[in-house]
Amino acid sequence: MPVPESATPRDARDKLALLLSLIPYLLDHSSVPVAEVAAAFEVGSKQIRDAVMLIAVSGLPGESHAYLPGDLFDIDWDELETQDRISLTHTVAIDDTPRLSAREAAALIAGLQYLSSLPEHADRDAMASLMAKLERGTASGAAQVAVAPAALRNTVALIQDAVTRRTQLDFDYVNARGETERRTVDPLRIESVNDDWYVRGWCHLREAVRTFRLDRIDHLASTGEPISEHAASVVLPERLFQGADDDLTVSVDVQAGTLPLIADFIPDDAERIAEGDVVHTKVRVAHYHGLKRMVARFAGQVTVTAPQEARDAVAEWASAGAARYETEG
């Protein structure tokens, strides 16, 4: 909507803000009518023309320390005078401003999406605004990212809502031993490691903090009941996977580059003995069957060395998988 030319003049701060915003706007519009620019910035057309005149005598001094033609902004004067349109024909300095690549912006946006799932960062509107600014500030638009797999999207959304509202959840959970139990949980945090998503919270069945993998959750429902006092007083540690007294310790050989990816499973007091590109260390697991997923994910990077029962469990699982390929082939 056009603004009347008789509108109250803006103060110096408003004029500076207009100038700083006008140049990026003109860079994004190769040729734009003065009236359209005035409507976009909610000022009069005369103020836009005055701002353009000021831009045209702005720049940076060159090597001679004098303002030569190539050191100043320039516009298509004929187009401005005959068609009342603005078109920048030369810019200085602003083109040298570093901009995020699509991958860099995608990484930051993914991080913000993760932070927005945590209860201590509940200002989702501010996160969304910042993500939009990051995408606009990239050189070619942010690469598309999908933080949660499509199959888990509804589950993640329901848990995030419960974390924000501080209400309880009910679900069926299949543990590492393949046993299914109905759990009532006070969700405290939802987070991901690589492609796997987890929710941490106070488990009413175990009367302790537990970590649940989302792809093992079924029949998820929100009870609407507020979380218990136990959960409200819990301070979650930064490490996702916490050891339990009945955990099993397994010796493994790990490629050095893979070691950081399984760091949460390595006890704090475990030795890490490097031998070339291999590190000899130990991991904690709730059950030997839990080793299968780790070995499969890091095929050729993690080798179970002891105890023999753990080696047998992984070997039997691998042999069964190979036999299925032979049968189907």
For residue 20, name the pLDDT band (cuts at 50, 70, 90): confident
What does the alpha-carbon distance between residue 170 and residue 186 come to, in Å, rounded to a whole number? 9
**Three-state SS at 25:** helix
Of 261, 149, 229, 161, nearest to 195 by C-alpha is: 149
Any domain includes 238: no
CATH number for the domain including 274? 3.30.70
Average pLDDT, integer, range 200-222: 90
For residue 71, name the pLDDT band (cuts at 50, 70, 90): low
Give 163: exposed, middle or buried? Use CB within 10 Å, 0-12, 13-18, 19+.
Answer: buried
Q: Please report the pLDDT score of residue 48 as a whole number.
A: 87
The answer to whether the peptide bond before residue 307 is cis (omega within 30 degrees of 0) is: yes
Here the tokens at position 249 are: 């310790």
More confident residue, 327 or 172: 172
Q: Is the pLDDT of residue 127 over 70?
A: no
Any domain includes 241: no
Here the tokens at position 220 are: 């998820």
Any domain includes 1: no
Domain identity same for 91 and 106? no
Q: Which amino acid is at 135?
A: E
Q: Is the pLDDT of residue 142 over 50?
A: no
Q: Is the pLDDT of residue 176 over 80?
A: no
Judge contact between 61 and 90, C-beta under 8 A: no
> What is the largest distance, in Å, between two alpha-carbon atoms of the chain?
88
Any domain includes 240: no
What does the alpha-carbon distance between residue 200 and residue 234 come to, in Å, rounded to a whole number? 11
Judge contact between 45 and 5, C-beta under 8 A: yes
Percentage of the residues of the chain whose pLDDT score is greater than 70? 68
Q: Please report the pLDDT score of residue 10 as a whole number.
A: 56
Domain identity same for 92 and 106? no
Residue numbers of the domain that contains 181 = 150-232
DSSP letter (8 states) at residue 147: S
Q: Please report the pLDDT score of residue 128 as a whole number.
A: 67
- Give pTM, 2 decimals: 0.43
Give the highest mean pLDDT range of 54-68, 77-91, 235-249, 284-298.
Answer: 77-91
Write the CA distances from 17 to 41, 93, 130, 134, 272, integer angstroms. 10, 18, 19, 20, 56
Write the CA distances from 258 to 45, 263, 285, 310, integer angstroms. 61, 9, 17, 20
More confident residue, 1 or 72: 72
For residue 329, name the pLDDT band (cuts at 50, 70, 90): low
Least confident of 2-6, 31-35, 269-273: 2-6
Any domain includes 185: yes
Average pLDDT, integer, range 44-60: 80
Of 66, 76, 68, 7, nearest to 42 by C-alpha is: 7
Q: Is the pLDDT of residue 272 over 90?
A: yes
Give Cβ neighbours of residue 307 (< 8 Å, ≥ 6 apart). 250, 251
Judge contact between 58 and 73, C-beta under 8 A: yes
Q: Is the pLDDT of residue 139 over 50?
A: no
Instruction: Centre a 10 Å sphere on the Cβ of residue 305 and count the other Cβ atoms it contains.
Output: 13
Domain identity same for 52 and 128? no
Any domain includes 145: no
Any domain includes 47: yes
For residue 19, name the pLDDT band (cuts at 50, 70, 90): confident
